[in-house]
Structure 1
Amino acid sequence: MKIRIWLQKSSARVEFEDEGTSVSSPEASMGLPGILKMITMRKQQEKEQSADMMKQTAVLEVSTYTSMPTIPVGKDPLQWWKANEEEFPMLAKLARKVLCIPANSVASERLFSSSGNIQTVFRFSLKSNKLNMLVFLHINLS
């Protein structure tokens, strides 16, 4: 986007040029504050248009992806996404983030461990709601 600003003694004029078209803004005759307001409004419109285009692209990618056949069980999903990255750029970026998360049971093991440490032989008569509260406090306060 090109912005041309003409300043005269008593007024100012702004022209925005997009793809060979120019639009004059008579509101800019208020001077510099009017010019800044017009530039800000124009940039906001461009951001909204860009966001709408990204949303349309994402919807198109998802609909195309869901209509494709599934990959075989033995095939590596990361390799599939690398091969199809050009066709689905937004989804491929998301898939890389999701597929890099390692699958493990450490969190659940820690939870069982802490509940076992809280409910000992001497505290075996704890009610389940009290045990849940103590485990919650132990996990969130440590």
Structure 2
Amino acid sequence: MNRSSERIKRSAQPRALVIHEHSDKMIALLLCGIIAGACAAPQFSDFGTRMNIAMSHMSAAMSKLSSDLSRRLPHVQEGVEGTEYKVTVPLPNYEAKDIVVQAREGLLIIEAQNKNNHYSYNNVLPDIVNLPGNWIFENGVLKITFPLREWYRRQ
């Protein structure tokens, strides 16, 4: 019985060493892979600076675009004047025949279109507005008027 237990011990020891050697190699290989991956990754030592410069350029471009658009789009003025709610829209380069104005409860839609230009405006009408309204187009300016509701005028 002594001999068989010695054989088991002898055959078990090399296996344990073999497993141990392989696990050391696997760990070493894994560490080498992690280090190689970290070295291969892009290095951004000045990432914050680059990001700030890129954001600054983008902000300047957006400001320019915004100012260009505001110069090209008509500035709509609207509000209560006396007993009416007035909407004024400059529409140069259009004629009265190019313009369609629609008003529904709570909604104003303006469409202007000719062969060179197209303009569209949708906006919420306040509850104080009574339908129907009137519009006139003179000297390149669209003027829309709505009467105010009775309950609002009494206030």
TM-score (norm 2): 0.33
Question: Whose relative contact order is higher, 1 or 2, with alpha carbons under 8 Å and at least 6 apart?
Answer: 2
Higher strand share: 2
Task: Give 1 or 2 for the bigger CA radius of gyration.
Answer: 2
TM-score (norm 1): 0.36
Higher helix share: 1
